[in-house]
Structures are given as structure tokens and as C-alpha cells.
Amino acid sequence: MSWSFPCLRLQRQLYALRLRGQSADRQAAFTELQRCWQQMQFRTGDCWRDVEFLVVDTETSSLDAGDGELLSAGWVVVRGGRIILSTAEHWLVKPRNGVGHSATIHSLRDCELSEGIEEQELMSHFLTAASGRVLVFHHAPLDLAFLNRISRRLCGAPLLMPVVDTLQVERRSLARRHQPVVNNMLRLASCCARYNLPPARAHNALTDALATAELLLAQVSYKGKNVRLKALI
């Protein structure tokens, strides 16, 4: 995300003004989002070890948020330079439509998702986990497109949280080494392989979130000591 934190705060204030007079349900959901914003006390100059991260991955029925749905989400916290496995969560989401051909990618079936939670419950779990933390994705625009669409519908505003994109961190690292990006070099599995990280089963939201967390730690370690948050965002 290229926006500065002050810009994010201004955007949040504008959405708060727009939401006056909205339904009670939407006001309640927005209040939950606001509480999450209020816990964002970190600054871009902070050492990365002093910042908590929520590493997130999603599986969807399409690559286009305009016609697809979020089917599952997984996340885990990175705190003090460590992956806190006890914080790992994986949620299946009940879709309005079937998974269609996307099942060949993530192996999620309609019968499994029929037992999933509603988007409103997912957003509540997500905002609780994200409170006071920087979000981390691998290829953030895709995941954020779906999460922001849900947030806009339920809360009346997008997430508007600081984001680290490990794909972009890797792209910048390759550029500094004057190494051209070819083929699938920026895919999660390819990035992990460059740091000799163990392969993980792809296209499961939680295992991909864990792999992204490992990649984040490897990328920071490669940068050296005392890395600041601004070097990642």
C-alpha cells in the first residue's frame, strides 16, 4: 500500500462522516471497524520487531471480485519476529453461489462450504484478529479486493489498514539486484524456494498464510538488522 498513515486517517474520517444516518446494523459494523483502526498505534519508523503483523490469505471462486466470492480465509500473527502458531485461524465461508470451476484450484466443495460461516461473522473474526496489527498478504490487491468488498457492504467503508505485500517486497529486492522478473518468479512457492523454505500445500488459505509468514521473516532477515516498518510497506 502506497498511502501514508496520515492519508489513511483522513480517508477514515471521510467515511465516518458519510456513514451518519445509516442503518443500525451498518453503524454497528462500522463501529467495530473503527475500534480496529483506533488500535493502530504503530509508526512507519518503528522497528519491525516492535510491530505485530497479521498474515492473511484467502481462497475465492474467481480472480475477479466483481463476479467471485470469498470462500475461505486463514491468518496467523507474527510477533517479535516469530510466527505465533496458537493464533492460526482458518474459516470456511458460506457462498451465495456454488464454487464452480474454482474447485479444481482450491479443492473446496459446495458440501463443505454449506457448513461455513456467514461473511458478517468472518469480518467480525477478522477485525478482532487485525486490531493493532499490520496486514500482510502475498499479492495483496487480490485478497484486498474481496475483503474490501465485504467491508464496504457490511461496514460502509473499506479496511483502510497498512499493508505489507511480500510479493512487492520480493519484486523490489530482485530489482535492487538487477535481476529480471520472468515466468512465475513472484509466485508464493517460487519466492519461498529462493529462501530455501520448505514447500507447503498450495491453495489452502491457512497453509498459504503460514508460508507467507515464513517468507516475510526470510525477507526481513535478508535485509539485515533493525529493519524499519517503512522498508516493508
CATH of the domain at 87: 3.30.420.10
Residue 54 confidence class, pLDDT cut points 50, 70, 90: very high
> What is the count of structural domains for the chain?
1
- pLDDT of 198 reads 87
Residue 38, number of CB atoms within 10 A of its CB: 11
**Could you tell me whether strands 70-79 and 53-60 are parallel, antiparallel, or unpaired per DSSP bridges?**
antiparallel
pTM (predicted TM-score): 0.90
Query: Hey, which of 19-33, 39-53, 75-89, 183-197 has the most confident mean pLDDT?
Result: 75-89
69, three cell numbers: 466470492
**Residue 121 DSSP symbol:** H
Residue 67, number of CB atoms within 10 A of its CB: 9
DSSP, residue by residue, 144-191: HHHHHHHHHHHHSS-----EEEHHHHHHHHHHHTTPPP-TTTTSHHHH
pLDDT in tens, 193-218: 999 998 877 779 999 999 999 999 99
Q: Which domain holds residue 169?
A: 5-231
pLDDT in tens, 60-90: 988 888 888 999 999 999 999 999 999 999 9
**Spatial separation of the C-alpha atoms in residues 205 and 70, rounded to whole Å:** 11
